[in-house]
Amino acid sequence: MIVTATTFSQEEKAVKAIFDWALTDTTAYHNLRLLCKNHKGRITGTPEANKAVDFVAELMQQMQLDRVEKQPVTVPRWVRGEAEKAFIISGQNEKTEVPVSALGMSIGTGEKGLIAQVIEVQNFKEIETLGTKNIAGKIVFFNRPMNPTLINTFAAYGGAGDQRSQGAAQAARFGAVGVVVRSLTTASDNFPHTGVMRYNDTIPKIPAVAISTKGADLLSTTLKNNPETQFSFRTTCYQLPDSVSYNVIGEIKGSEFPDQIITVGGHLDAWETGEGAHDDGAGCMQSLDVLRIFRELRIKPKRTIRAVAFMDEEVAQRGGKEYARQAELKKETHYFALEADRGAYMPKGFGISAPDERLEKMLALQKYFEPYGIDDFVKGGGGVDIGSLAKFGTPLSSFIPEMQRYFDVHHSGYDTFEQVHLREFQLGSAAIASFIYLIDKEDL
């Protein structure tokens, strides 16, 4: 009997080389530290965001790419103002301070702040039932938690998100003077989690804040004991006129099909309460790393590979829309796109949206990743920044890391560089680079 040694395909060897390289190099992790520590507060339209743009453009320049571009995007500019203050006031004027964070795009309370009786609700239907006679003049407290029984924490987030995005508009319909929203997190702690909200032009604008989950639990208990409980908060946020910012694009030209573009990206803007480490500095740096790994390993892609640090995912999603608009104007062919915007935890796999035939082949790539413990290749992918490319029929994909801890940090002061684990981050870079390599190499 002849025993043959295991032979590895060219693809398997390339994937191994990518993982080996990513797991022994710390440059991208170091760059993430610089982004987090030097460019905190980079919410859309701020000088900090534009400094972060220059930082990323500079990193791309150093990578000796074929092209680097700052693509102008007109973005909104919302200013948080002074640190927020909030108190639960109950009994003999007993005041307990609780952590709150103004919701993005909210108006402020004015210098003096707001004080009113509180009414707790779980959903919009409850507001309708209570009606103006119970709501008018009060602060509405939305306290529906993210559903803890859902294993898909993004589904739980989506299921509770309407309170944050539309709570103020819904409550104002019945004369509420402000809203307090339970933070969208499964953690029990003192970090308020911000995020964008929207007003309805035909309904009065009222100020909105997120309260930490511990603060929400305390407010709820206090209300049960004393329905006369009042809440006060002070925010000084406001809006400035739109300004110009940029998507930052770096690319390696394809050797065979330079007109076919593969985009891999994350978003550079981040809420100023934290450092935007998991959301989404990590996704930007992992996307850039695809190009760096290709360069270092002398991988010559057939198609043009673009890394994009998108601007304005958090507030008005203008970066992704502008990227697609420019693609249309320039008649670009977008072959494939991947978004990394779910944190930089241990990679689990990829979600993919593509026509059936291509989808089957892409899902079958799982076999290359199983040796690395990455085996969750599922139907359904995309993201806010690449979503607008769907109109070209471009297959869209999401990088999927482990998701149980993501909402602990998401949009809060806890989203710092220290929460990003070196190995998990490196494995993510390797997985994304390998996936992009295979999509291109196997003409999927």
Separation between Cα atoms, residue 387 and residue 325, nearest integer Å: 12
Task: Tell the smallest beta-carbon distance from residue 164 to Zn ion (Å).
Answer: 15
**Cα angle, residue 336 at apex, residues 350 and 380 outer, rounded to 5°:** 40
Task: Tell the smallest beta-carbon distance from residue 8 to Zn ion (Å).
Answer: 36
Q: What is the DSSP letter of 203?
A: S
- Nearer to Zn ion among residue 99 and residue 383 (C-beta): 383
Task: Tell the smallest beta-carbon distance from residue 108 to Zn ion (Å).
Answer: 25
Task: Tell the smallest beta-carbon distance from residue 247 to Zn ion (Å).
Answer: 15
Q: Which residues bind Zn ion (CB under 5 A)?
A: 279-280, 341
Task: Tell the smallest beta-carbon distance from residue 196 to Zn ion (Å).
Answer: 11
Say if residue 280 is preceded by a cis peptide, omega within 30 of 0: yes
Task: Tell the smallest beta-carbon distance from residue 263 to Zn ion (Å).
Answer: 16
Non-local (6+) Cβ contacts of 309 within 8 A are 53, 56, 247, 248, 265, 266, 267, 268, 284, 287, 288
Under a CB-based contact definition with an 8 Å cutoff, are residues 183 and 213 in contact? yes
- Nearer to Zn ion among residue 40 and residue 303 (C-beta): 40
Separation between Cα atoms, residue 263 and residue 56, nearest integer Å: 16
Separation between Cα atoms, residue 185 and residue 156, nearest integer Å: 9
- Nearer to Zn ion among residue 279 and residue 322 (C-beta): 279
Task: Tell the smallest beta-carbon distance from residue 267 to Zn ion (Å).
Answer: 6
Tokens of 325: 């608009």
- Nearer to Zn ion among residue 138 and residue 267 (C-beta): 267
At CB < 8 A and 24+ separation, what contacts does 224-227 make?
225/90, 226/90, 226/91
- Nearer to Zn ion among residue 408 and residue 440 (C-beta): 408
Under a CB-based contact definition with an 8 Å cutoff, are residues 319 and 385 in contact? yes
Task: Tell the smallest beta-carbon distance from residue 332 to Zn ion (Å).
Answer: 24
- Nearer to Zn ion among residue 332 and residue 385 (C-beta): 385
Produce one character per residue of 335-357: b if its CB has 16 or more CB atoms within 10 Å, e if not.
Answer: bbbbbbbbbbbbbbbbbbbbeee
Ramachandran region, residue 159 (left: φ > 0; alpha: ψ -120 to 50; beta: rest): alpha
Are β-strands 257-267 and 303-310 bridged in parallel, bridged antiparallel, or unpaired? parallel
Residue in 84, 99, 83, 92 with CA at minimum distance from that of residue 217: 99
Task: Tell the smallest beta-carbon distance from residue 279 to Zn ion (Å).
Answer: 4
- Nearer to Zn ion among residue 341 and residue 440 (C-beta): 341
- Nearer to Zn ion among residue 171 and residue 340 (C-beta): 340
- Nearer to Zn ion among residue 268 and residue 346 (C-beta): 268
**Cα angle, residue 418 at apex, residues 375 and 248 outer, rounded to 5°:** 75
In 63-143, alpha helices (H): 124-135
Non-local (6+) Cβ contacts of 147 within 8 A are 155, 156, 159, 160
Single-letter amino acid, residue 399: F
- Nearer to Zn ion among residue 312 and residue 341 (C-beta): 341
Task: Tell the smallest beta-carbon distance from residue 410 to Zn ion (Å).
Answer: 8
Task: Tell the smallest beta-carbon distance from residue 280 to Zn ion (Å).
Answer: 4
How many angstroms from the chain centroid is the CA of residue 54?
21
- Nearer to Zn ion among residue 267 and residue 334 (C-beta): 267
